C-alpha cells in the first residue's frame, strides 16, 4: 500500500480514498482518528507543505523522531506532519511541534504514565524565544484560552500523534479518570518583555536567543488566585500560597506546579524587587505544616499515608518537622502571561507527591524541554 | 471527485509472539517487581511470605521501578534477567 | 504490562497483577504488543484506600490464582 512521491521526497503513508458521496469530515470521525473535534484532512499537498517546513535535522520523512507510548510506536517525520495538518497547524509551526515531541518523548517527561495511569497527566507547553513571535503565539489577553491558532494547535498536534500513532485512545489503554480541557491542548507563550524576571528558558539554562518548548506535567488548572488588593509581594504570595495549599487535597503534597502570573501581579513583585527565589521561599514558608498535620486525618481527610509514621519509624520530633506543599522549592515553576487588566495568578497543578516524608534531599525539578530548530 | 488523505496511524501490524514454556514447578528465584504504585508494597510483602510457604526452597528478590510512569529502566531489567527465573509484577490500580 | 511482556519474551515465565478496573486496558495493550495471552490476574478495585489488613487479605485470597496463572502449561 506504500506510495511514493514523483520527486522522491514524500510519503510512504497509506493513501486512503474517500468517495465523493462520503463527507470527508464524517469519514474521519468514523475512522476514530480525531480528538472529538473535526480535523483538517491530511491531503498530500498539505502534508508536503508541512514536511517542507521541517528543520534541517528532520529532512527525511521516514526519519524516526520518537517512540510514542503506549504502544511504543515509531513516530516518523511524515506521521508527525500528517497529524500536525490534522490539528490545524500551519507549516511554520512544525519546528515548534517537533520540539514539543522531543521534549515529551525524550525520557524526562512521564509520557507513558501520563497515558496509561489514571492520573490524566498532560503536558502544559510553554514556548519561549523569538520563535513564539515568528509563529504569532499569544502571551497576552486569553493566552491560555481559545482563539489563537498557534497556541491552540501545538498541543493538539501532540495529542493527535499520541492517539493515532502511540495508540492512546481513551477507554482503551488511556485511563484518565476525568480528564479536562488540558487533555486537548494547553500551549502558551511567555510575556518575556514584561516579565520582571529573566525569560523562563533562560532561567533553565538556555540563551535568550534560543527558542524553546518546555513542558510541565499537570493534572489540571487553572485554579485562579484573584487578589486585587495586596500591595506587597509578601501579602500577594500569602494569598497565592493559601490557594495552592488547597489543590488536590489540602493536607497532601503535590509534584511540580506552574504558576502563571499576570502582568499586574508581576508589577507587585517588580515594585518590591522580588525574585522567583523569594516567591519560592515564601510559598515554602506559608504552606509549611508540621508533618503530623499532613498525615491522613479521620476528620480532615487524606494526606500522607496514615501508615507512614510506623513504616518510616518517625519520631515525635520528626512528626513536628515542617513540611511544605511541595517537597522542593524547584517544584514551584513561575511564568508570566495574560492581559494587563487584572491581578490574577493561575495555578496548574501536578499530581499527588506524598512520598517518603523523611527523605532529606528531594529531587530537583528541571522541566523537560527542547530547543526549536528552524 | 475522490478525496485522498494520508493515514495518520501507526500502520505496523504487531508481530504475534508466544509465551515462554512453563517448567513443571517453581524453582530458583522469583522476581517480585513493584511497579511503585502506593500500597503495592504492602500487598507484595504478604505475597512474598505466602510464596515462601507455598514453595519452600524457592527464593524471592524484590525490585522496584523508580516510577510507575515508565517501563522499567534497563539496569533493573538486566538485573532481573540475570538473577531470576520467574517474574511477578504488581500492582496496578 | 510492557515489562511483563519483555520478560516473557526473554524466556522468563511472568505474570502481572492489577485491579479489575484495568481488564479492558490490559487486553488492548496485550493485543498491541502481540501477546494477547500474556498472563494476568485481577484483584478487586480499589486498592489505594485499603488498610494494611485488607491488602494482606487480598494477597492471601489471590496467591494461589497468581501462582496457578503464572505456571499453567502453555498450549
| ipTM (interface predicted TM) | 0.94
**Which range among A44-58, B1-15, C52-66 shows the weakest confidence by mean pLDDT?**
B1-15
> Least CB-CB distance to C47: which of B39, B81, B87?
B39
pLDDT in tens, A57-71: 999 999 999 999 998
pLDDT in tens, A191-221: 999 999 999 999 999 999 999 999 999 999 9
- How far apart are the C-alpha atoms of A289 and A251, rounded to whole Å? 9
pLDDT value at A222 more than 60: yes
Which of the four pLDDT bands, split at 50, 70 and 90, describes residue A6? Answer: very low
Pick the residue from chain B with its C-alpha nearest to A77.
B8
Q: What residues of chain B lie within 8 A of the CB of A14, using their CB?
A: 6-7, 11
Mean pLDDT of chain A: 93
How far is B10 from chain A, CA to nearest CA, in Å? Answer: 5
**For position A360, what pLDDT does the model report?**
55
Give me the residues of C, 35-74, that contact A with CB < 8 A.
52
Per-residue exposure over A87-115, b if at least 16 CB sit within 10 Å of its own CB, e if not: bbbbbebbbbbbbbbbbbbeeebbbbbbb
**Which range among A160-169, A243-252, A265-274, A351-360 shows the weakest confidence by mean pLDDT?**
A351-360
Q: Is residue C35 less than 8 Å (CB to CB) from chain B?
A: yes
Average pLDDT over every residue of A218-246: 97
Between chains, do B4 and A43 touch, taking CB under 8 Å as contact? yes
- How far apart are the C-alpha atoms of C5 and C15, rounded to whole Å? 9
Q: What percent of chain A has pLDDT over 70?
A: 95
Which of the four pLDDT bands, split at 50, 70 and 90, describes residue A27? Answer: very high
Residue C47 or A298, more confident: A298
DSSP for residue A127: E
Q: What residues of chain B lie within 8 A of the CB of C50, using their CB?
A: 39
Spans in chain B with pLDDT lower than 70: 69, 93
CA–CA distance from B59 to each of A74, A82, B54, C62 (Å)? 39, 51, 12, 19
Average pLDDT over every residue of A78-90: 98
Which of the four pLDDT bands, split at 50, 70 and 90, describes residue C37? Answer: very high
Pick the residue from chain B with its C-alpha nearest to C73.
B22
Q: State yes or no: cis peptide before A346, omega within 30 of 0.
A: no
Mean pLDDT of chain C: 91
Residue B82 burial by Cβ neighbours in a 10 Å radius (0-12, 13-18, 19+): exposed
The pTM for the full model equals: 0.86
**For position B72, what pLDDT does the model report?**
84
Closest CA to C70 of C31, C9, C17: C17
Residue A30 burial by Cβ neighbours in a 10 Å radius (0-12, 13-18, 19+): exposed
pLDDT in tens, C8-23: 999 999 999 999 888 8
Between chains, do B7 and A14 touch, taking CB under 8 Å as contact? yes
How far is A110 from chain C, CA to nearest CA, in Å? Answer: 15
**Which range among A150-154, A170-174, B79-83 shows the weakest confidence by mean pLDDT?**
A170-174
Task: Note whether B28 and B58 are within 8 A (CB).
Answer: yes
**For position B70, what pLDDT does the model report?**
73
Closest CA to A53 of A104, A102, A112, A99: A99
Q: State yes or no: cis peptide before A70, omega within 30 of 0.
A: yes
Q: Residue B24's CB: how many other CB atoms inside 10 A? A: 7
Q: Which residue's C-alpha cell is 524547584?
A: A330
pLDDT in tens, A247-282: 999 999 999 999 999 999 999 999 999 999 999 999
The residues near B63 (Cβ < 8 Å, ≥ 6 apart) are B31, B32, B33, B34, B72, B76, B79, B80
- How far apart are the C-alpha atoms of B71 and A176, rounded to whole Å? 18
**For position A11, what pLDDT does the model report?**
62
Q: Where are the beta strands (DSSP E) in chain A?
A: 15-18, 64-68, 73-76, 122-128, 187-189, 212-218, 220-226, 257-261, 289-290, 322-323, 332-336, 344-349, 369-371
**For position A308, what pLDDT does the model report?**
83
Amino acid at each position: 500500500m506504500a506510495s511514493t512521491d514523483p520527486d522522491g521526497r514524500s510519503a510512504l503513508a497509506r493513501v486512503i480514498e474517500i468517495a465523493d458521496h462520503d463527507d470527508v469530515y464524517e469519514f474521519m470521525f468514523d475512522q476514530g482518528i480525531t480528538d472529538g473535534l473535526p480535523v483538517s484532512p491530511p491531503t498530500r499537498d498539505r502534508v508536503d507543505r508541512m514536511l517542507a517546513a521541517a528543520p534541517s535535522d528532520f529532512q527525511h520523512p521516514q526519519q524516526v523522531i520518537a517512540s510514542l507510548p503506549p504502544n511504543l510506536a515509531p513516530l516518523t517525520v511524515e506521521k508527525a506532519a500528517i497529524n500536525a495538518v490534522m490539528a490545524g497547524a500551519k507549516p511554520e509551526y512544525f519546528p515548534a511541534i517537533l520540539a514539543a515531541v522531543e521534549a515529551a518523548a525524550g525520557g524526562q517527561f512521564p509520557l507513558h504514565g501520563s497515558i496509561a495511569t489514571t492520573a490524566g497527566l498532560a503536558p502544559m507547553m510553554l514556548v519561549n524565544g523569538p520563535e513564539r513571535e515568528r509563529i504569532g503565539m499569544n502571551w497576552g489577553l486569553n493566552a491560555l484560552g481559545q482563539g489563537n491558532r498557534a497556541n491552540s494547535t501545538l498541543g493538539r498536534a501532540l495529542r493527535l500523534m499520541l492517539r493515532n500513532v502511540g495508540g492512546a485512545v481513551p477507554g482503551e489503554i488511556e485511563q484518565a479518570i476525568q480528564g479536562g480541557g488540558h487533555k486537548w491542548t494547553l500551549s502558551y507563550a511567555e510575556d518575556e518583555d514584561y516579565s520582571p524576571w529573566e525569560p523562563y528558558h533562560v532561567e533553565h539554562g538556555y540563551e535568550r536567543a534560543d527558542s524553546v518548548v518546555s513542558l510541565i506535567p499537570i493534572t489540571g488548572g487553572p485554579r485562579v488566585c484573584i487578589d486585587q488588593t495586596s500591595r506587597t509581594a509578601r501579602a500577594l504570595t500569602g494569598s497565592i500560597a493559601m490557594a495552592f495549599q488547597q489543590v488536590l487535597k489540602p493536607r497532601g503534597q503535590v509534584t511540580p506546579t506552574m504558576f502563571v502570573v499576570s502582568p499586574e501581579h508581576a508589577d507587585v513583585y517588580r515594585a518590591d524587587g522580588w525574585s522567583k527565589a523569594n516567591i519560592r521561599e515564601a510559598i515554602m514558608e506559608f504552606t509549611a505544616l508540621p508533618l503530623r498535620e499532613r498525615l491522613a486525618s479521620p476528620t480532615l481527610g487524606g494526606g500522607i499515608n496514615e501508615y507512614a509514621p510506623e513504616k518510616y519509624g518517625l519520631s515525635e520530633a520528626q512528626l513536628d518537622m515542617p513540611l511544605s506543599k511541595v517537597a522542593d522549592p524547584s517544584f514551584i515553576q513561575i511564568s508570566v502571561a495574560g492581559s494587563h487588566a487584572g491581578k490574577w495568578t493561575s495555578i496548574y497543578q501536578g499530581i499527588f507527591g506524598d512520598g517518603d516524608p523523611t527523605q532529606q534531599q528531594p529531587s530537583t525539578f528541571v522541566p523537560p524541554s527542547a530547543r526549536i530548530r528552524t | 471527485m475522490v478525496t485522498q488523505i494520508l493515514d495518520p496511524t501507526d500502520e505496523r501490524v504487531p508481530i504475534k509472539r508466544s509465551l515462554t514454556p512453563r517448567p513443571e514447578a517453581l524453582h530458583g528465584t522469583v522476581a517480585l517487581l513493584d511497579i511503585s504504585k502506593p500500597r503495592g508494597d504492602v500487598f507484595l510483602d504478604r505475597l512474598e511470605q505466602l510464596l515462601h510457604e507455598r514453595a519452600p526452597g524457592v527464593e524471592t528478590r524484590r525490585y522496584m521501578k523508580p516510577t510507575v510512569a515508565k517501563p522499567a529502566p534497563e539496569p533493573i531489567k538486566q538485573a532481573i534477567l540475570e538473577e531470576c527465573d520467574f517474574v511477578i509484577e504488581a500492582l496496578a490500580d | 504490562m510492557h515489562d511483563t511482556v519483555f520478560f516473557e519474551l526473554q524466556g522468563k515465565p511472568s505474570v502481572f497483577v492489577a485491579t479489575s478496573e484495568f481488564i479492558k486496558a490490559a487486553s488492548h495493550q496485550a493485543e498491541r504488543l502481540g501477546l494477547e495471552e500474556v498472563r494476568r490476574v485481577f484483584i478487586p478495585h480499589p486498592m489505594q484506600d485499603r488498610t494494611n489488613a485488607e491488602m494482606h487479605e487480598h494477597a492471601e485470597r489471590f496467591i494461589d490464582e497468581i501462582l496457578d496463572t503464572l505456571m499453567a502449561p502453555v498450549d
